[in-house]
A and B are shown apart, each in its own frame.
Chain A
């Protein structure tokens, strides 16, 4: 039986950052369609920093309004924007020296065509209709001296103290030959590991011995029983965070496979109140129905997991193993 050798995962982080007194001032001023820099000796640094980039000394909060127009100091043309770029049509990334500034600022330029862009050209901001206090309140710069803004005078600057930023990255992971074999066996309902010839331990889903640091090839493959003993557990009281699905206290247990020392961590114990879980308890794997088995959680980034193949572990009802036998297991 074969499994896909690729797993695709998207990681998303909603960031909320405090801005502090210097960047906070810059972003606050943007809400009134003003751009400010900060004095550092003879220079005006835009956008402002909290400290002198040469000496590391904290700067006095002496803000100076600059721009809004400026001069292009360097540029490159992006003919095919990607999702993380700020404009969907072809545009230029530019370094701009705003009038009154002594440093450059990175931003984007909407110039229509590549041959319209040149170093030394004059540009001015195109303001967002309703500024919120982010760098993209300036949607982009446009050729010319005059800022583009909605009708009417801007209001007073609003105090902006935090900034939200949502990041998302998609990873495509290709499984190593060891993991492909491991996942194929799981799909067939078999737990397969490799036995280390030096320490005699069996390792699931990694292809090497974590103790001795030696590679373990397919010739050392060994099927393991899908029965084991709970060696450790923790009861988790859920706190709400993005992606958290549990609402009631739940347990995560470590299972040592029978006749071996391999520990499978982060397992669910099925059909048992969390208060009755104990170290030494004998359990048996509850496999997912064959059609639902899914290798999406097998990745090359960590150690072997059984997620997507084994739903959890059910107590067998047999007498417990002595708990002391498992006291030196961390997982």
Chain B
């Protein structure tokens, strides 16, 4: 098996086997400030689109897994109506994670590794527009020490960003440059929400702080959206698409839940997950889920990405942040860099929990013919 290539092994020597799994199609809805469609309707659209790209029917699907969050949607068991996006007939095998769709994809990958089914669908969906993230997120923190303090996500990100800057690992200018680059890239990506915002670094630095040392440009938008990917085992993958995006490594790791106990300027779990997923050597494109500019710096430094690596050419989470789909969108975009743009080795990353507590890394490869 080639699931984890040894360091130094070149792409040309990799041989795809029956047990290997590839992403063969992806679909996402444009991230928007407020989506009128229900989560189920959004998922119907992305599942239709993703399956349509490879001429599959729902009856071909052996397993599906979705990621969503009751706290964000404001309803109990909100994944139950969402399941209608896969239909009830023929009888289906499905699962749900109360996590970003990237973790749903991980579960689908594990399910495919059992070897008895060939095709799975992973989805993620969320509508942040219905509630106030500043009021909801503290409730997901430690309920004893943190939630009663009402520590909102932007304040937490600001505490992290200040430590990064004061440790000398970054500067406010670098953060503004990340915001500007993300906005330039988003301008050409119809799936991103922030496409016409200020891109001049000096003008961004002249804007006031929202939470010192973070400005509005260092923050993600509040978005609604959905994403789906189709995963297929070896023999079928090559039949369905010309250039499958092979998952050569996928891993997720988590750190202690109380962010004050961690070194917030480092992401040990991302580094470990990347090493377990085969490492970053030769990666051409990295789609990193960094909702805050400072988090991109932390992820990049933790992964040790080379200067030439294209980071978030999609525009990233800073310009479109459909919670519970944002991470899966990163992996989908990293897969499209292979499926559609002919790249050879890419990386998709997703995060969850406060201040980069949990991290998932997925390394993808295309065959060079």
Contact = CB atoms under 8 A, between A and B. Distances in A.
Interface residues of B, number: 63
A25 interface: no
B147 interface: yes
Interface centre among B41, B130, B143, B158, by most chain A C-beta atoms within 10 angstroms, is B130
B162 A75 contact: yes
Interface string B147-159: 1111110011011
Interface string A65-85: 000000001111110001111
B209 A136 contact: no
B162 A119 contact: yes
Interface string A288-306: 0000000000011111000
Given A171-B130, A300-B39, 7 more contacts: A76-B211, A76-B213, A77-B212, A84-B150, A85-B152, A106-B146, A170-B135
A175 B129 CA distance: 12
19 contacts: A19-B144, A49-B256, A76-B159, A76-B162, A82-B132, A82-B152, A95-B159, A95-B260, A105-B260, A135-B148, A169-B139, A170-B135, A174-B130, A210-B87, A213-B47, A214-B87, A301-B38, A301-B74, A301-B75
B206 interface: no
Given A11-B74, A103-B261, A106-B260, A77 B211 contact: yes
Given A74-B159, A134-B148, A176-B37, A299 B75 contact: yes
A304 to B, nearest CB: 10
Contacts of A83: 135
A163 B214 CA distance: 34
B131 A170 contact: yes
A173 interface: yes
Contact of B144 (A23, A103, A169, A178): A23
A241 interface: no
A127 to B, nearest CB: 16
Contacts of B148: 86, 134-136, 165
A11 B58 CA distance: 36
B166 interface: yes
B115 interface: no
Contacts of B166: 74, 119
Interface of A: 9, 11, 15, 17, 19, 23, 27, 45, 47, 49, 53, 73-78, 82-86, 93-95, 103-108, 114, 119, 134-136, 163, 165, 167, 169-179, 199, 206-215, 299-303
Interface stretch (B12-20, B77-85, B332-340): B77-85
Interface string B250-269: 00000110111100100000
Given A47-B145, A208-B40, A301-B73, A106 B139 contact: no
B34 interface: yes
Interface string B186-217: 00000000000000000000000101111000
Contact of A208 (B41, B71, B151, B209): B41
A73 B261 CA distance: 12
Nearest to A56: B256
A211 B90 CA distance: 8
A298 B196 CA distance: 35
Contacts of B259: 106
B88 A211 contact: yes
Contacts of A94: 159
Given A19-B144, A82-B152, A174-B129, A45 B261 contact: yes
Interface in B130-178: 130-132, 134-136, 138-139, 143-152, 155-156, 158-160, 162-163, 166
Contact of B41 (A167, A207, A299): A207
B260 A104 contact: yes
A135 B159 contact: no
B126 to A, nearest CB: 12
Contact of A84 (B86, B88, B134, B159): B134
B149 A212 contact: no
Which are the 9 A-B pairs with shortest beta-carbon distances? A213-B87, A76-B158, A301-B75, A171-B74, A53-B256, A84-B150, A300-B38, A104-B260, A210-B84
